[in-house]
Structure 1
Amino acid sequence: MSARRLILAIQFLTRLPTPQVKDFRQEDLSRSAVYYPLVGALIGVLLVLPLYALAGRPWLAGAMTLLLWVWVTGALHLDGLGDVADAFGAAHRNPQRFLEVLKDPHMGVFGVVTLVMQLLLKFVLLSELVASPLWYGLVLAPAWARWGTLWWSQRIPSLHGDGMGERFSWQLRPAAMWLWALALAVISAPLAWPLLLALPLVPLVAVWWKRRLGGISGDGLGASVEVVETLLLLALVLLPAVTA
């Protein structure tokens, strides 16, 4: 394990304090991506702390867990979701218009409404997750979503060559993606089996991006992480009850 790359991955994906990395090189950003699922699991470990500690008060548990989630990630992926929602709302299926709106630093009504709905949905699901027998699956949900970034960057062209979508795929070995999928599946199968939904869900997201725009951007990666996280939470809440 490269401590340097792990630190960079933590720095990029979270607001957690880390040692300073000197002599940063551009390729370091891509090579650190191999640790994104591990950082996702670290985020998940932090999230289960308030969820477990406040289990007797589900709404408070949901609110505090969501607050921690937003803080520890620096709203990184929420920002991407809001930008993508604005771009889709104004693009009218025109890929060029989509990219133009995506570059606009201002957020419009589509983005605001989408973020409000996303946060509300996550709050409700986290509150419901308290009563689920598989609540500890929250540890792995962020890891699966960040594994998705490895898949999407390998399988979907970048919408603009110098964007984040391109940086994620640069220097990244496909073997790492498959090894993480195997490791997460082996852990999830006996502990939180609904999370195996990520195995077909992540490729389906890739298919959707290809058909809709023909590629993906850094904001698209962030938005996809948010969508996958929410759907995995939904699976953890609903599937155990359906199969009981």
Structure 2
Amino acid sequence: MWRFDWRIPALAVQFLSRIPTPTIPNFDPKLLAQAVAWFPAVGALIGAFLLTAVYFTALVDPWLAAICGLLIWVWITGGLHLDGLADMADGLGAAHRDPARFLAVLKDPHLGSFGVLSLIMQCLLKLILLMLLIRQQQWAALILIPAWARSGVFCWQTLPALAPGMAEQFAWQNPRLLALFWWLALLIGAAVFSPALLLAPLVLLGYRQWLKAKLGGVTGDCLGAGIEICESGLLLIAVLSAGIIGH
């Protein structure tokens, strides 16, 4: 008989955020692979914290709300995905189409100039787009965007793992039915609350196609970078669509 294992969603929360969770007894690496199925739910939870932070500070000023929102966004994720973005930027900048060199740079704990620039640009982009989204009062998008971005792991993990690590572990499980469930739920949520985000699957699949063409596979850093890239892309889509409709 099927039994709900609370450790799996708790591990998903623990892995993707700083939100306190109970200690996981009898940890098994396979649990982390199964926890992928809960990534969109954790994204929505992160979005709920984000919405709470910006909604009330927006009563004072949109820029203040955006700054608070960005700080919460970085803090609650522990900068996990930003780290992946910086590492991937360094790897791409130094690789020159050499996969071995790309993987070697990913393993280097030091942050290079490409990584620093990617962090600065990503934080600035998110700050500005957050401010515009808040000014447009697109509150539902703040919950949907983090959930959509984390659902991208469902399709990105189907690429070959370039090296042992998180990407390889996530590939141990391929929750197709749960992926379809989450994407259907998110599509319904987008259709009702933020129609522009109906384009989200194209963004997620577009990143997968880029990984396949550029690298031929995926690493854990690429997964984290994808979440950051897709969050910014979806923020941009939401902001532009509201601006176009508004005019």
TM-score range, shorter chain: over 0.9
Amino acid at match of 1:12: F
Tell me if 1:121 matches 2:125. Answer: yes
> Structure 1, residues 127-150: CA drift from partner, whole Å, max 9, x if none?
111111423211110000000011
1:16 matched to 2:19? The reply is yes
Deviation string, structure 1 residues 8-38 (Cα, Å, up to 9, x no partner): 0000000011111100001000011100000
Task: State the distance in 1 between where 2:15 and 2:139 align.
Answer: 27
Alignment of 1:1-244 (within 5 A): 2-55=5-58, 56-154=60-158, 156-160=159-163, 162-244=164-246
**Amino acid aligned to 2:24:** V
Matches of 2:137 and 2:83 in 1, distance apart?
32
Deviation of the 1:180 alpha carbon: 0.9
Contact map agreement 1:135 1:236 (CA 8 A) in 2: no
Distance 2:38 2:92 in 1: 31
- The size of the alignment, in residue pairs, is 242
Q: Secondary structure at the match of 2:152?
A: helix
Q: Which runs of 5+ in 2 are unaligned?
A: none
Percent sequence identity is 47
Q: CA deviation at 1:94?
A: 1.3
CA distance in 1, matches of 2:16, 2:175: 20
Unaligned runs of 5+ in 1: none
Question: Do the aligned residues in 2 keep the contact of 1:5 with 1:28 (CA within 8 Å)?
Answer: yes
State the 1:174 CA deviation.
Answer: 1.6
SS of corresponding position for 2:132: helix
Q: TM-score, normalised by structure 2?
A: 0.95
Q: Secondary structure at the match of 2:167?
A: helix
Distance 2:239 2:203 in 1: 17
Moved more, 195-204 or 25-34: 195-204
1:237 to partner: Cα distance:
1.1
Equivalent-residue separation in structure 1 for 2:174 and 2:14 (angstroms): 18
Q: 2:234 corresponds to which letter in structure 1?
A: L
- Partners of 2:51 and 2:142 within 8 A in 1: yes
Contact 1:165 1:216 in 2 (8 A): yes
In structure 2, how many angstroms separate the alpha carbons of the residues matched to 1:23 and 1:223? 30
CA RMSD in angstroms comes to: 1.1
Kept in 2: contact 1:87–1:99 (CA 8 A) = yes
- Return 48-57 or 82-91, whichever deviates more: 48-57
